[in-house]
Amino acid sequence: MAGSQVNKQLPKATAKRLPQYYRLFKLLVDEQVTRTNSQLISEKIGVDAATIRRDFSLFGELGRRGYGYETRALRDFFGELLGQDRETHIALVGVGNLGRALINYQFQNRNKMRVTQAYDVPENPLVGTTSATGVPIYDIADFSKHVKNSKIKTAIISVNKENAQEVADILVESGIKGILNFSPLRLHVPDDVVVQSIDLTKELQTLLFFMSHKDIK
């Protein structure tokens, strides 16, 4: 299995490029392109060819010199590596504007991931209802009860920073092992729980900085 071929010392920068590789090979297969090479991949995703070859070398022989890479084989390899060969159910906590957008986002049209449960405080009038996409919205007090009766190990936090750590504690206590955190707060979790944080304000500020300093590469 691809997962068994992951180098324990895989650089984080390489790991962050894996979804790009998977998305590209999936697109190439859909376009009926059967073979490609590092230079063509570089042109498609904006990563230099040497970096691509170095990334791929970390997983063994993914291609052949003078022949290139078989798109279908690499799509399947990176898909398995990223867990796209199995369906992943996700719980979402925080059904505000961002939370509602995430509930309605059609993950499954692109990957085998989908939000199947959502949670908020009982003051939110949406608690006790079902979203337009069929996702039930529960009281956060019932998180453990519902999640423990499911196969959910992944959750999204889209609450304000004042409540983010408290929510994270509830998730951890309920057996969640992966958290996508949209709050600006740095979460404290056990070593066996993985957190990926997305601070939209920081990302926008970074964008504005580079727009004003286009000479910086």
Annotated binding site: 94-99
Contact present, 193 and 179 (Cβ < 8 Å): yes
For 114-117, which contacts have Cβ atoms below 8 Å and span 24 or more sequence positions? 114/87, 114/88, 114/89, 114/90, 115/89, 115/90, 115/91, 115/156, 116/89, 116/90, 116/91, 116/150, 116/152, 117/89, 117/91, 117/92, 117/146, 117/147, 117/150, 117/152
Report residue 186 CA to chain centroid gap. Answer: 18
Which residues does the annotation place in the binding site for NAD(+)?
94-99
Amino acid letter at 198? I
Half-sphere exposure of residue 112: CA atoms within 13 angstroms, side-chain side: 9
Pairing assessment for the beta strands 88-93 and 154-157 based on DSSP bridges? parallel
Taking the CA atoms of 56, 62, 68 and 70 in sequence, report the sign of the dihedral they define: negative
